[in-house]
Structures are given as structure tokens and as C-alpha cells.
Amino acid sequence: MTAFYADLYAMFQTFETITSLVGTRIYPGKLAEDAEFPAIVTNRITTTPIYTHDGVSDLSSKFYQLRTWALTHEAAVDLADIIEGILSGYNGGMGSRILGAVFLLNRIDGYDPETGMGSQILDFQFCES
């Protein structure tokens, strides 16, 4: 688990609204094969360095996708609403790093026709300062 995933995981563990629903079921990359639901999956999309007139700065923007999975569409939406409420517009500490801002860029409905499970896909930009 990378430091960013560990910091995000640690941050989510401080919110009872998250832990009461998913406990420790927050996975980097993909769901565990034996995962219970609801759960959250996080994936890094890209990291973009911030440039100044002097070259690359110590700052960067990281784009992460968080996907909620639940047995019903409504439960996936409810979990996504909680995540959006925590992260969208957030600035401050997240584990070992300081975030200047977090922006919700996109939110998409998801559905798995094989299992009937619902999901929500949330794309966030994390700006470190």
C-alpha cells in the first residue's frame, strides 16, 4: 500500500460515518475476492506536477478515483454521499501530508449486471501543499 493510500485509509478510519458502513473494507486497486459489502476501492488515475517559472515545484495534483460498491444502488449512493461530504472542498491534514484542497471532479453511477450490485464512481483531485 502506498503512502497516499495509507493516509487516505487512516483519514477515513477517523470518521464513524465511514467505519460504521465499511469497517476496514477500503481497498487500493481492486476489491478483495472475498470482500463483504459495502466497500470502497481507490485507484490513482494520474499525478500531475506543478510547474513554476523556476521549474517543477514540490507541489503536485493527484487524481484518484474512489468507487463505492454495495448490494443496492441506494446503499452505494449513500456511501458516496458521505465520501463526497468528507472530501469535497477539504483542506488540512491527511495522515503524513497536508492537502491544500480536494475537489470532486466527476461522479458517475455504476452497476454490475452480473451481480446486481450498485456503485458510484467519484473522481477527486487532491492538491498537496
Tell me the per-residue pLDDT of 108-120, one tens digit each, with 9 for 90 and over.
999 999 999 999 9
pLDDT of residue 15: 95
- Round to whole Å and give the CA distance between 122 and 71: 18
pLDDT of residue 1: 60
Torsion of CA 79, 44, 48, 120, to 10 degrees: -30
pLDDT of residue 91: 94
pLDDT of residue 2: 84
Q: pTM surpassing 0.85?
A: yes
Domains of the chain (ranges plus CATH)? Answer: 3-128 (3.30.2000.30)
Look at strands 26-28 and 39-52 and give their pairing. parallel
pLDDT of residue 78: 97
